[in-house]
A and B are shown apart, each in its own frame.
Chain A
């Protein structure tokens, strides 16, 4: 989800990502926003995203996360897997 967000929106800071996910999920998913940071750290360990300090639109110093090339590949793999799963679920439901 985070990868998807970063891929779609370009480099973002943690707050932005949280907002985006909140907005996209239309309140289906309500998580503690803090978990975003745990996810970001995990992704950094995998080297799927990179981080750098920058200035946010509200003129605050903020850390921006961007998707890396490996991250993009991983995203493509996961999207594909997800689509397959979604397609399967859709077919199974259609067969009902």
Chain B
């Protein structure tokens, strides 16, 4: 093996120098013969005789040189180089063909490479933690309602970590994701996303700080200096990436904090986090007291060898034991522990989308390759004479096939280079327009793996595009073309081309069906009835300093002043404060609710509720109708009867067929400490919390419950800028410490949940159009060739009295056959494949007959269009000119 390799290496070396060596050798031989001849001359021969004798003694020069040349070459490399050179020359001559083939392939390759870069960055690249497979996240879920979570308390997870045999270490991480906080850095204030964790979080992850240090358990003790660790992205954006950020003092919601560390990029959990703080750093005198600190999910590192399933059952058993030994919380019962691999939670629900998009773009590339294969086959036909001649002159069939393949290789490599440049430019652009919510964006780039993938794509493309033409050039009769018989030309490769076109149509139907389904989903999403009048609603962010507004009365008093101030402004018709921004899928939960008269068992099947704590003018401001009873009023305050409004779906679940007004319910279990609330109204269902599904909602008057007032909803006809300045000044006049940092129309909030489906639909729509165009092109090419091949037959038919319509029908029939068969296969493929899209669809079934059938019909229509020009040409067929051209 080694000697073999050495021989190839030295041959390669000699091959490169071959010209020089050959010249050397000639000189040497000449000198040698000259020396011999000189010897003979000295022996007394004449010059001619001496030369001849010398030649005789030396032997056959030509043969020798041939031998030596053979020694200095590697045949297959030379053949390849020859083939490639020849291919480049040919392609250069056929510029139109080359441009068409290269540009379609380049687009396909670029798309595939970009999608793979996204997949590599988001799904495949390891997280910046140690042994991510051993990391798990755990929380509790109610079996009745998937949306109801119940967190671990910080005390609980310590107990769990202590007693578990399977967990190596454990920590807590906020279950609510990041929350917006006002960060002050000297004079300026801005919003930042804060994620709460316990001291051991980074240690469990095995993540090291890029600068400074990570949190330790000591940071999480009562009385420790409040510290913050910032994300790489926040460090770059907010601090310009300066190293002396360590030790800087900032305030987060007015609480002083020291920055002790910067974490590496791509550490993005909870997603979108900019500042990590410890759970203990949250003051317990806020709206939710100690609960704010305690709502954490468990993050843990499994011991080597332990599986997620084992950990899941162990945690469930531990939870049971802890619950019975310390029955602190009756609410918790009925919730089961769930355990998920950490990486799965981090990546979230984008896996399916990305794979679907990748498959779609790969199919487009496949269609483009089929097109190129088709074009090559067609060229193969027109070059049949040449190929036959080469075969006749002794070229092996392998050589001829290799030569055809070299063409597709050259095309693919050129297309690959163009595609790579395109991907290089497109990837950063794509990343900037990806709507937020794509995790791990920082880790998306073109790296070695992507490069390897890209090279593989080029070769696979070359193979796909070249294999059929290569094989067909090997098969069949190479001799009859030389005889000038055109009948033989129509031979085998026609079937190959038709097969390719049928395949193309089938793939295009699949891509289009998927595109149709996603686009339909987006249209459905956009047509949703939100249950509220989102037009002319503006959200103004409000930041109340938490210490000064710790008391409920103080907040209520301030808000009253704000209403009077703002509602006096012309153009503003209503103002109401809210706790949580709309359509963010976040909010407050009531995991368990009990209607009066229900037993615990009956109550267990009640839906878990979304909780909105609202001011009396909430419904009138967002224009959500009260369908029964009354809205809250100023009379619903502390000390009066505690009241509630429920959404229609809650009323019909809890009191089916009855009038819910006057009925009572309570949060928690029947024996729990919650007080009975009297239902005074029924509100229409809204999608305030989650756009895709209306959530059963319990409304409580803020005066009797809670109002953090992080934003104001304003119904206004004024422009955003005007509203912003009015709100700013009005509020500054009431309290200069309250900050108003931004305002945005409701539509912007609606864009967030709709952004991703829209983006997906846009991408797959583009792929679908590409697939449609490419396969139409393929169909056209095949139809044109079909007509050209049969022109003699057609001309004879016409001459014998067939009408133009007959001939057109003939061509249309052929197109219909190809497209019909392809569409049929495509429909079958779509039915099998679109099931994968289920999670991405909104109010449309994966097997939606309209969408799948529509895709098939579209392709058949495209086939008719593609057949149009060839059809007309056929009908114009003229026997004389056709016969003359033979």
Query: What residues of chain A have their CB less than 8 Å away from a CB belonging to chain B?
Result: 13-15, 18, 31-35, 37-38, 41-42, 44-47, 56, 58, 60-63
Q: How many A-B residue pairs have CB under 8 A?
A: 64
Q: How far is the CA of A13 from the CA of B8 in the complex (A)?
A: 26
Q: Which residue in B25, B32, B60, B71 is a CB contact (below 8 Å) of A45?
A: B71
Given A32-B59, A34-B60, A41-B68, CB of A18 within 8 Å of CB of B32: yes
Q: Which residue in A37, A44, A58, A60 is a CB contact (below 8 Å) of B29?
A: A37
**Is there a chain A Cβ closer than 8 Å to B7's Cβ?**
yes
- Contact digits for B159-194, partner A, Cβ 8 Å, 1 yes 0 no: 000000000000000000000000000000000000
Please give, as numbers and ranges, the residues of chain B lying within 8 Å of A58 by CB-CB distance. Answer: 35
Q: Which residue in A33, A46, A62, A63 is a CB contact (below 8 Å) of B59?
A: A33
Please give, as numbers and ranges, the residues of chain B lying within 8 Å of A42 by CB-CB distance. Answer: 71
The answer to whether A47 and B64 touch across the interface, beta carbons within 8 angstroms, is no
The answer to whether B60 and A37 touch across the interface, beta carbons within 8 angstroms, is no
**Is there a chain A Cβ closer than 8 Å to B10's Cβ?**
yes
Pick from A13, A32, A56 the residue with the most CB of B within 10 Å.
A32
Residue on A nearest B3 in the bound complex, by CB? A46
Please give, as numbers and ranges, the residues of chain B lying within 8 Å of A33 by CB-CB distance. Answer: 32, 36, 57-59
Residue on A nearest B38 in the bound complex, by CB? A58
The answer to whether B31 and A60 touch across the interface, beta carbons within 8 angstroms, is yes
Given A15-B31, A18-B32, CB of A45 within 8 Å of CB of B7: yes
The answer to whether A38 and B64 touch across the interface, beta carbons within 8 angstroms, is yes
Q: Which residue in B7, B35, B57, B67 is a CB contact (below 8 Å) of A38?
A: B67
Q: How far is the CA of A58 from the CA of B35 in the complex (A)?
A: 9
Q: How far is the CA of A78 from the CA of B154 in the complex (A)?
A: 82
Q: How far is the CA of A34 from the CA of B35 in the complex (A)?
A: 13
How many residues on the B side are at the interface (Cβ–Cβ under 8 A)?
Answer: 25
The answer to whether A35 and B28 touch across the interface, beta carbons within 8 angstroms, is no
Please give, as numbers and ranges, the residues of chain A lying within 8 Å of B35 by CB-CB distance. Answer: 15, 58, 60
The answer to whether B25 and A37 touch across the interface, beta carbons within 8 angstroms, is yes
**Is there a chain A Cβ closer than 8 Å to B14's Cβ?**
yes
**Is there a chain A Cβ closer than 8 Å to B124's Cβ?**
no
The answer to whether B57 and A32 touch across the interface, beta carbons within 8 angstroms, is yes
Please give, as numbers and ranges, the residues of chain B lying within 8 Å of A18 by CB-CB distance. Answer: 32
Q: How far is the CA of A56 from the CA of B38 in the complex (A)?
A: 14
Please give, as numbers and ranges, the residues of chain B lying within 8 Å of A56 by CB-CB distance. Answer: 31
Please give, as numbers and ranges, the residues of chain A lying within 8 Å of B68 by CB-CB distance. Answer: 37-38, 41
User: Which 10 A-B residue pairs are closest in the complex by CB-CB distance?
Assistant: A32-B59, A34-B59, A34-B64, A15-B35, A15-B32, A45-B10, A34-B58, A33-B58, A41-B68, A38-B67
**Is there a chain A Cβ closer than 8 Å to B399's Cβ?**
no
Given A14-B32, A41-B68, A60-B31, CB of A35 within 8 Å of CB of B59: yes
The answer to whether B64 and A35 touch across the interface, beta carbons within 8 angstroms, is yes
The answer to whether B36 and A15 touch across the interface, beta carbons within 8 angstroms, is yes
**Is there a chain A Cβ closer than 8 Å to B306's Cβ?**
no
Pick from B24, B36, B58 the residue with the most CB of A within 10 Å.
B58
Interface residues of B in 36-69 (CB under 8 A from A): 36, 57-61, 64, 67-68
Closest CB-CB distance, A37 to chain B, in whole Å?
Answer: 6
Interface residues of B in 188-232 (CB under 8 A from A): none
- Contact digits for B16-36, partner A, Cβ 8 Å, 1 yes 0 no: 000000001101110110111
Residue on B nearest A38 in the bound complex, by CB? B67
The answer to whether B60 and A32 touch across the interface, beta carbons within 8 angstroms, is yes
The answer to whether B58 and A61 touch across the interface, beta carbons within 8 angstroms, is no
**Is there a chain A Cβ closer than 8 Å to B621's Cβ?**
no
Closest CB-CB distance, A14 to chain B, in whole Å?
Answer: 6
**Is there a chain A Cβ closer than 8 Å to B504's Cβ?**
no
The answer to whether B10 and A47 touch across the interface, beta carbons within 8 angstroms, is yes
Please give, as numbers and ranges, the residues of chain A lying within 8 Å of B36 by CB-CB distance. Answer: 15, 33
Q: How far is the CA of A42 from the CA of B25 in the complex (A)?
A: 13
Closest CB-CB distance, B69 to chain A, in whole Å?
Answer: 10
Q: How far is the CA of A63 from the CA of B25 in the complex (A)?
A: 9
Please give, as numbers and ranges, the residues of chain A lying within 8 Å of B493 by CB-CB distance. Answer: none
Please give, as numbers and ranges, the residues of chain A lying within 8 Å of B10 by CB-CB distance. Answer: 44-47
Q: Which residue in A15, A32, A60, A63 is a CB contact (below 8 Å) of B24?
A: A63
The answer to whether B31 and A61 touch across the interface, beta carbons within 8 angstroms, is yes
**Is there a chain A Cβ closer than 8 Å to B278's Cβ?**
no
Q: How far is the CA of A2 from the CA of B27 in the complex (A)?
A: 20
Please give, as numbers and ranges, the residues of chain A lying within 8 Å of B64 by CB-CB distance. Answer: 34-35, 37-38
Give 28 A-B contacts (CB < 8 Å), ordered by A residue: A13-B31, A14-B28, A15-B35, A18-B32, A31-B59, A32-B58, A33-B32, A33-B57, A34-B29, A34-B59, A34-B64, A35-B59, A35-B64, A37-B25, A37-B29, A37-B32, A37-B68, A38-B64, A38-B68, A41-B68, A41-B71, A45-B7, A45-B14, A47-B10, A56-B31, A58-B35, A61-B31, A63-B24
Residue on B nearest A16 in the bound complex, by CB? B35
Residue on A nearest B67 in the bound complex, by CB? A38
Closest CB-CB distance, B64 to chain A, in whole Å?
Answer: 4
Q: How far is the CA of A15 from the CA of B27 in the complex (A)?
A: 12
Closest CB-CB distance, A53 to chain B, in whole Å?
Answer: 8
Q: How far is the CA of A41 from the CA of B15 in the complex (A)?
A: 13
Q: How far is the CA of A81 from the CA of B31 in the complex (A)?
A: 35
Residue on B nearest A22 in the bound complex, by CB? B57
Closest CB-CB distance, B707 to chain A, in whole Å?
Answer: 88
Q: How far is the CA of A47 from the CA of B10 in the complex (A)?
A: 9
Please give, as numbers and ranges, the residues of chain A lying within 8 Å of B28 by CB-CB distance. Answer: 13-14, 37, 62-63
Please give, as numbers and ranges, the residues of chain B lying within 8 Å of A45 by CB-CB distance. Answer: 7, 10-11, 14, 71
**Is there a chain A Cβ closer than 8 Å to B72's Cβ?**
yes
Closest CB-CB distance, A1 to chain B, in whole Å?
Answer: 17
Q: How far is the CA of A18 from the CA of B10 in the complex (A)?
A: 25
Please give, as numbers and ranges, the residues of chain B lying within 8 Å of A37 by CB-CB distance. Answer: 25, 28-29, 32, 64, 68
Please give, as numbers and ranges, the residues of chain B lying within 8 Å of A15 by CB-CB distance. Answer: 31-32, 35-36
Q: How far is the CA of A61 from the CA of B35 in the complex (A)?
A: 12
Q: How far is the CA of A38 from the CA of B64 in the complex (A)?
A: 7
Q: How far is the CA of A37 from the CA of B64 in the complex (A)?
A: 8
Please give, as numbers and ranges, the residues of chain A lying within 8 Å of B72 by CB-CB distance. Answer: 41
Residue on B nearest A62 in the bound complex, by CB? B31
Closest CB-CB distance, A29 to chain B, in whole Å?
Answer: 13
